[in-house]
């Protein structure tokens, strides 16, 4: 009976995240579900607090990312990206540039930063040119969200899901570089090739004036702060590599980088309270912590045992079959319930059994990152991207998104799984 009750609470919470009853926000739904599940499950108060406290690195990562995004916007880095895109003709060339820039942003600042940087810039560059769009969404905008998920396996910090697995299973930089990075590289190359080939080529191009006004006006922004921010972001990339190799928590590195840009904005008089208030969302931190408790409550009630048994069966198969099976399960769960709660479920399930489970971990990571690109609710970055698209006057149906994302995502999944099987 207890298992059925907790299962019903878990399912109702996931549905509520999309239905948002009575206009509730995501964090309110997640918090309510977590508290009710906590009370219903055999999970003590101390256990629940321990779950949240043990995940401080993930929460620090999210907070640091918010500070980094606000600082980069204040420095005018987003406007510089818009200028680069406006110089490219619409069609295949602009899509290719978006894929390259999106891959770089995702690798360094995580996939959640990519839509924020690229989406307004793409709509600014495509203003007045509706050709080659899908329901008002330019092909380059779709390429941006594809790159956000497709490249989100390159580094542990490229996706909060990757950071979760990196911390939960003590992957270490060497294991990540040997077994996951080659698969991630193969996946993003395959995705970029398929996406670029599918983009039309339109040579006629008339530059348009941007209708996006991000950040402070140019006469207020300090040119020196833009240089400082660029150096800080480059230094952050190096710090990630050093921290991963020395065991320093990556959440602390991200948080430190965010505070560096925050201090630079204040020193250069580029600080704007409204910008930071818009970027920093306490609700997102509550959302993350609440889902951690919700999944732990489900695990304590025994809901993950059946999935654990199936993973146990997969673990005994050849590496390629194990990786493909885990990737498919993780991808399906991610596109049904979003990849963050799906990753929590999968990671908790794998952790129920002793051992290394390299193939299961790699396959699950591929499915929860690259595989989450199939639907508009598959990843947090895609949900964020869609909200930005709608702010710009565009929209796209779930069926249209699925049609556009299917070939690039399947190609990326196949390439990543094949290379992962070779490296294990």
Number of domains in the chain: 1
Instruction: Quote the CA–CA distance of 420 and 370 in Å, as a whole number.
Output: 13
Instruction: Quote the CA–CA distance of 182 and 211 in Å, as a whole number.
Output: 40
Q: 128, 113, 125: which is closest to 77 by C-alpha? A: 113
- Residue 302, judged by CB atoms within 10 A of its CB (0-12, 13-18, 19+), counts as middle
pTM for the full predicted model = 0.76
Instruction: Quote the CA–CA distance of 73 and 262 in Å, as a whole number.
Output: 11
Instruction: Quote the CA–CA distance of 304 and 300 in Å, as a whole number.
Output: 9
How confident is the prediction along the chain (424 residues), in pLDDT tens digits per residue? 788 898 899 889 888 877 878 888 878 988 999 999 988 888 888 887 887 787 787 788 878 878 887 887 788 876 777 788 878 877 888 899 999 999 998 988 788 788 877 887 788 776 544 444 555 688 889 999 999 999 999 988 888 888 889 888 888 888 888 889 999 999 999 999 999 988 764 444 333 333 344 443 443 457 788 889 888 888 887 887 788 667 788 788 889 999 999 999 999 888 888 878 877 778 878 887 888 788 888 878 888 777 888 888 888 889 999 999 999 999 998 888 778 888 888 988 888 777 778 999 999 999 999 999 998 878 878 877 887 787 778 888 888 899 999 999 999 999 999 999 999 8
- Largest Cα separation within the chain, whole Å, is 66
How many other C-beta atoms can be found within 10 angstroms of the C-beta atom of residue 406?
A: 13
Instruction: Quote the CA–CA distance of 340 and 170 in Å, as a whole number.
Output: 19
Radius of gyration of the chain (CA): 21
Domain that holds residue 349: 2-423
The DSSP string of 31-91 is HHHHHHHHHHTT--HHHHHHHHHHTHHHHHHHHHHHHHHHHHHHTTHHHHHHHHHHTSPTB
- Residue 423, judged by CB atoms within 10 A of its CB (0-12, 13-18, 19+), counts as middle
Query: Where are the extended beta strands (E) located within 97-191?
Result: 133-134, 137-138
């Amino acid at each position: 009976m207890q298992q059925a009750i907790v299962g019903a609470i878990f399912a109702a919470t996931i549905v509520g995240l999309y239905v948002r009853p009575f206009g509730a926000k995501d964090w309110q739904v997640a918090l309510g579900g977590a508290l009710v599940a906590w009370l219903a499950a055999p999970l003590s108060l101390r256990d629940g607090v321990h779950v949240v406290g043990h995940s401080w690195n993930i929460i620090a990562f999210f907070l640091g990312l918010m500070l980094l995004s606000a600082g980069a916007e204040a420095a005018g880095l987003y406007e510089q990206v818009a200028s680069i895109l406006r110089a490219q003709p619409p069609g295949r060339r602009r899509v290719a540039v978006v894929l390259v820039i999106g891959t770089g942003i995702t690798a360094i600042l995580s996939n959640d930063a990519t839509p924020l940087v690229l989406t307004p810039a793409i709509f600014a560059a495509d203003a007045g040119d509706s050709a080659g769009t899908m329901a008002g969404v330019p092909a380059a905008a779709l390429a941006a969200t594809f790159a956000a998920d497709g490249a989100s396996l390159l580094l542990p910090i490229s996706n909060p899901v990757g950071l979760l697995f990196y911390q939960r299973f003590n992957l270490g930089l060497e294991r990540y570089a040997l077994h996951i990075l080659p698969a991630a590289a193969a996946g993003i190359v395959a995705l970029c090739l398929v996406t670029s080939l599918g983009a039309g080529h339109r040579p006629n191009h008339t530059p348009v004036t941007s209708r996006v006004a991000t950040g402070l006006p140019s006469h207020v922004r300090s040119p020196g702060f833009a240089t400082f921010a660029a150096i800080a972001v480059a230094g952050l990339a190096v710090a990630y590599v050093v921290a991963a190799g020395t065991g320093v928590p990556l959440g602390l590195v991200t948080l430190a980088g965010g505070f560096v840009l925050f201090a630079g904005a204040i020193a250069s008089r580029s600080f704007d309270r409204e910008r930071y208030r818009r970027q920093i969302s306490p609700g997102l931190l509550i959302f993350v912590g609440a889902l951690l408790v919700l999944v732990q409550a489900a695990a304590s009630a025994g809901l993950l045992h059946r999935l654990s048994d199936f993973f146990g069966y997969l673990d005994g198969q050849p590496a390629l079959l194990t990786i493909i099976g885990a990737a498919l399960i993780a991808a399906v769960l991610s596109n049904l319930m979003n990849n963050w709660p799906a990753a929590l479920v999968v990671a908790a399930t794998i952790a129920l059994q002793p051992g290394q489970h390299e193939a299961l971990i790699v396959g699950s990571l591929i499915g929860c990152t690259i595989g989450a690109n199939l639907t508009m609710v598959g990843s947090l970055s895609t949900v964020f991207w869609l909200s930005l698209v709608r702010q710009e006057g565009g929209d796209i149906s779930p069926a249209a998104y699925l049609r556009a994302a299917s070939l690039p995502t399947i190609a990326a999944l196949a390439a990543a799984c094949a290379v992962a099987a070779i490296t294990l």
